[in-house]
């Protein structure tokens, strides 16, 4: 069966927020993408007021929620605090470090693109 064509809006979203694929120290293939504002709002709602002001927890949770696949196995978007905990556990320390390092690279690349656009 052929792949279902993307809607125009889905195509724009996927092009503006591409999936990045990296390897962690355990040689796992991890695919991730930045969270949209809606994704972030949903995560905040799932986390609740008790944890939403905990910056360290929110950073770890956000990194874990950005993962879309590990070793070819899709990661479902967590909708509850226990699901967020499970995503964090599945990602683990080495996966977390790999994604957070790649996020830093992505931000640096995008800042370089902005500087280049300004020059042009």
Domains of the chain: 19-119 (3.30.2220)
Residue 9 has pLDDT above 90, yes or no: no
Q: pLDDT confidence of 1, banded at 50, 70, 90?
A: very low
8 Å CB contact between 102 and 22: yes
At 4 the pLDDT is 57
Q: How far apart are CA 85 and CA 91, in angstroms?
A: 10
CB-CB neighbours of 73 under 10 Å: 8
At 110 the pLDDT is 80
At 80 the pLDDT is 94
pLDDT tens column, 18-75: 999 999 999 999 999 999 999 999 999 999 988 989 999 999 999 999 999 999 999 9
CA distances from 101 to 49, 80, 94 (A): 28, 26, 11
8 Å CB contact between 57 and 83: no
* Ranges 10-14, 17-21, 101-105, most confident: 101-105
This prediction has a pTM of 0.78
Element (DSSP H or E) covering residue 30:
strand 29-32
């Amino acid at each position: 069966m052929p792949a279902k064509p993307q809607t125009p809006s889905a195509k724009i979203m996927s092009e503006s927020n591409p999936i990045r694929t990296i390897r962690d120290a355990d040689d796992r293939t991890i695919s991730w993408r930045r969270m949209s504002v809606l994704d972030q709002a949903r995560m905040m709602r799932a986390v609740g007021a008790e944890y939403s002001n905990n910056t360290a927890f929110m950073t770890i949770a956000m990194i874990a929620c950005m993962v879309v696949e590990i070793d070819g196995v899709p990661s479902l978007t967590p909708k509850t605090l226990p699901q967020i905990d499970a995503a964090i556990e599945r990602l683990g320390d080495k996966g977390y470090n790999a994604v957070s390092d790649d996020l830093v690279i992505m931000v640096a690349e995008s800042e370089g693109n902005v500087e280049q656009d300004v020059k042009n």
